[in-house]
Structure 1
Amino acid sequence: MRISTAWMYQQSVNTMLNQQDALDESENQVSTGNAINVASDNPTGAAQIVGLNHILAQNTQYASNMTAANTRLSTESSTLSSVSNLLNSINDVGLSAMNGAMSSSDLNNMATELEQYRDQLVQLANTTDANGQALFSGTSTTTTPFVTNSTTGAITYTGNDQQSYSSIGTGLQIANGDPGSSVFMNIPAGNGSFVTAAGASNTGTLVVGATSVTDTSAFQAATASGPINDTITFGANGTYAVTDAAGNPVDDSSGNPITGTYTAGGAISFDGMSITMSGTPASGDTVNVQSDTASNTQSVFTTINNMITALQSGESSTALNNTLNGQLQSLNQAMSSVSNTEVAVGSRISTLQQQQSNYSDLSVTYQSALSDVQNVDMATAISNLSLQSTALQASQQVFAKIQGTSLFDYLQG
């Protein structure tokens, strides 16, 4: 077999080129710290790197969303706490106003105090987060949700009823705010189950006090065929009878008309409801009872405005106390609404903290997996670099020696 000089040269050159490529790859690995710099280095590993980087990018975005949601919810929690304290102060003013010793001047001063509280409440309800987005406007976060009519003092809601959400994981979202309509506006009147109101033309000293549902089964049975809209009408010496909206007698569970005699400071109970009262009713005085709380809703701002109007009206002590008692019941419902929202917000913050902890652990796991695939073993890479450099130099020296050798050199030797 004849081996040509050209073939021998080409083989030597190819060997040196291959060694040079291997050396370049090792130098690249040492300089970048990456085992894979182009997909051709390791196609399978390169695909793993792309997938892991995509997951890590998603996790980074979720972490950012969780941080923003946590900040927003923390602001909401703090705001609701301030609202709760403010409503407690309003409740205290209402209770103090039912002191028969208060003069009209005192009552007017209390009305002025409530106006200031109302304005503070509007300001709190319009609180924005760190990005200037309203907390209580639903998804309409760039809108100022509560607007005050400068003439009447009425407050209107300009946001929407939807809840805004943040994506905190694959297929997982969490509410990052609450619409003001549910927190401040659509508050059930009365005790949340039914509403009572003393007749506007009453002439006695009867004051309607606390009300409650004492027998849920009886109350549900009474409302099964429709909302209650009954009237308690008093006769002489505290006797009373209950009639429906058409003026027909209302029967008890035994089919007997509901009647009785009221004792000052006692309660009247029927259809699972209990209504405490004080004072003495005059013959013909009435108390209306309605269970249609879905249509009997009012905003906390309306409740406060009703209290202000009552304090400024110069009504008799009996009429004022009846009005304030009714409004304080509605105020208690508003306080419950705020408290329930606080609990919900606290639960969301807890969920976020748990999710943040989970994603922090996952990120460490994915970063470790990425490092295993992408990062080069530096000790091995440097060792390979040294060996490949030595091998290349040896090949170059051998080639140089062979290149300078001829047949005449062989014959002379």
Structure 2
Amino acid sequence: MRVTDRILQQTFLYNLEKHKVDTQNIQEQISTRSKVNRPSDSPAGTSRILRLQNQLSGVTTFQKNIESAQSYLDATALSLEGITSEVQNVLVNLASINNASVNDLNSYASKIGMSIEAMLNFANSKFDEQYLFGGTNHSTDPFVKNGSTIDASSSELNGEQKIRIATNINQKINITGNELFFPSLKQTGNLDSSSAVGSVVSNTVKVLDPDGNEYDMNISYTKTAANTYTLDYDIVDAGMTSVTSGSNTLVFNANGALSTIDGNNEESIFIEDSATGIKLDLNIKGLTEKSASAQVFSNQVQKADIFKTLLSIKEGLENGIKPNSNQVKIVEEFSQHVINKTSEAGSIMNKLSSTGELLSNQSIELQELLGNERDVDLAEAIMDLNNTQFNLDMSYKISSMILPKSLMDFL
């Protein structure tokens, strides 16, 4: 094949243009510190960079969630410690009351009153404009003093606040007002899915009012259809007189887990009787349905509303009446309950701390991978620039030898 001057010229011009483009690309990479400045530079590299950037962005979001939650839990732990301190003061006073004269009871009533006020302040404490024990209620104080009573201001005190710490993992970070201050009765075990319609499973537990009076709470589960039961409860006093009762419909899903209560996606039933002061959160989240002999267990965390109990003790002392053993036991159990909740908050903090460390390591690895894919090695790039610049300069010199001369060259 004959290589003509025209072919040489075209080949030279092609290589000259290529040297120019290479030089410009390397200059751009050095100025931007990036090997990929547009998708066309490296389609596969662009795809990997976008994927790594998305992963890194997700990790950064999870880290910020954890940092915020850790501060929230620090504030929660401080409030719980404050409540524990006040309850201990109450227990010290209750122990001293046994040896106190009737004339001294007003003084103890005043001391317990101050502890109640302090506990109320801790119960309404906030962090970053959020009530620590308000559940999902952030607009009003969770607990309000109305004359001689302290009541919950919202039905949202049992709301859980959760943060996302991984793609498919949400972590609860709050201690709800209901679980901290109100009595809770947890029902666990299982109902028999193979039992006939009309089958009944029953159990009875003891509950207390703020004055320390005992009541029997009778609970029954009656099967009404497949995966469906009617929960009936009846709280009766010592004379077998009903003080409050109710009925709810429970539906379990195909996996045997509780699906709905009265058609709502809930896990507990809040029971309150204003006449006796009985409050109770009946939690049945741990109850399942499966093909096995039915067995239902009860675990009672507290037996009475702590605020109403303390107010009842205070009122009794003002009237010259010392607290009974059940009231003292309620305060003692609440003290242990707060300690347990403080430990629970600490466990959540430890989990978040461990997750945060894993995310930090993951972030470092992702940044390294992203850097390898995107960042320019300046020393290598400068050497490449020198080489391409040299090739470009030589091309300009050679051009005078192989490109055709024009009339201008002879003027």
Structure 2 CA distance, aligned partners of 1:136 and 1:304? Answer: 19
> Is 2:53 the counterpart of 1:53?
yes
Cα 1:74/1:300, change in 2 over 3 Å: same
1:377 aligned partner: 377
Question: Equivalent residue for 1:183?
Answer: 180
Letter in 1 for 2:317: L
The match for 2:327 is: 327
Q: C-alpha distance in 2, partners of 1:153/1:84?
A: 21
Task: Specify the alignment match of 1:313 in structure 2.
Answer: 319
Q: Which has the higher strand share?
A: 2
Q: State the shift of 1:326 in Å.
A: 2.3
1:375 partner letter: D
The answer to whether the 8 Å contact 2:184/2:281 transfers is no
- Which one of 164, 169, 181 corresponds to residue 166 of structure 2? 169
1:8-31 CA-to-partner distances (Å, cap 9, x unmatched) read 554433321111001111111222
In 1, Cα distance between the equivalents of 2:149 and 2:49?
62
| Structure 2, unaligned runs of 5 or more | 186-203, 222-232, 242-278, 283-301
For residues 153 and 113 of structure 1, what CA distance do their matches in structure 2 show?
17
Query: What does residue 20 of structure 1 align with?
Result: 20
Q: For the residues of structure 1 that align with 2:341 and 2:142, how far apart are their CA atoms?
A: 17
Query: What is the CA distance between 1:113 and its match in structure 2?
Result: 1.5
Q: 1:3 to 1:97 in 2, by over 3 A?
A: same
1:337 corresponding residue in structure 2? 337
**Structure 1 residues 160 and 66: alpha-carbon distance in aligned structure 2, compared to 1, 3 A threshold:** same
CA distance in structure 1 between the aligned counterparts of 2:364 and 2:152, rounded to whole angstroms: 49
Structure 1 partner of 2:250? none
1:135 aligned residue (132, 137, 144): 132
State whether structure 2 residue 401 is matched by structure 1 residue 394.
Answer: no
Measured in 2, the distance between the counterparts of 1:293 and 1:398 equals: 95
Change (3 A) 1:363 1:160: same
2:102 partner letter: S
Q: Give the letter aligned to residue 120 of structure 2.
A: V
Whole-Å separation in 2 of the counterparts to 1:140 and 1:228: 30
Distance in 1, Cα, partners of 2:379 & 2:165: 40
**What letter is aligned with 2:132?**
L
Residues in 1 aligned to 2:172 and 2:150: alpha-carbon distance in whole angstroms: 29
Structure 2 vs 1, CA of residues 337 and 187 (structure 1 numbering), >3 Å: closer, same or farther?
farther
SS in structure 1 at match of 2:126: coil
Number of the residue aligned with 2:105: 107
CA deviation after TM superposition for structure 1 residue 49, in Å: 0.4
Whether 1:117 and 2:115 are equivalent positions in the alignment is yes
Structure 2-normalised TM-score?
0.69
Residues 1:343 and 1:313: Cα distance change in structure 2 (over 3 Å): same
Deviations 1:288-319 (A, max 9, x none): xxxx98799532110110011100113xxxxx
What is the CA distance between 1:39 and its match in structure 2? Answer: 1.5
Aligned match of 1:301 in 301, 307, 323?
A: 307
CA deviations 1:376-411 (Å, max 9, x no partner) are 22232212111110111111111123346589x9xx
Deviations 1:186-233 (A, max 9, x none): 357xxx963689xx9xxxxxxx9xx9xxxxxxx9xx9999999786xx
Two-structure CA RMSD over aligned residues (Å): 3.6
Q: Contact between 1:193 and 1:293, CA under 8 Å: does it hold in 2?
A: no
CA distance in 2, matches of 1:54, 1:230: 62
Distance change >3 Å, CA 358–CA 23, structure 1 → 2:
same
> Larger C-alpha radius of gyration, 1 or 2?
1
Q: How does 1:153-302 map to 2 (within 5 A)?
A: 153-158=149-154, 159-186=156-183, 194=206, 245=240, 297-302=303-308
Q: Residue 360 of structure 2 aligns with which residue? A: 360
2:95 alignment partner in structure 1: 95
Q: Which consecutive residues of structure 1, in runs of 5 or more, have no partner in the other structure?
A: 201-207, 212-218, 232-243, 247-291, 315-319
Inter-partner Cα distance in structure 2 for 1:294 and 1:306? 21
Paired position in structure 1 for 2:35: 35
TM-score (normalizing by structure 1): 0.69
Within 2, Cα distance between the matches of 1:140 and 1:11? 76
Whether the 8 Å CA contact 1:310–1:324 is kept in 2: the answer is: no
Q: CA deviation at 1:364?
A: 1.1
Instruction: Measure, in 2, the Cα distance between the counterparts of 1:108 and 1:37.
Output: 79
Q: Is the 8 A contact 1:135 1:141 kept in 2?
A: no
Residue 352 of structure 1, CA deviation? 0.4
Q: For 1:3 and 1:223, how far apart are their aligned partners in 2?
A: 102
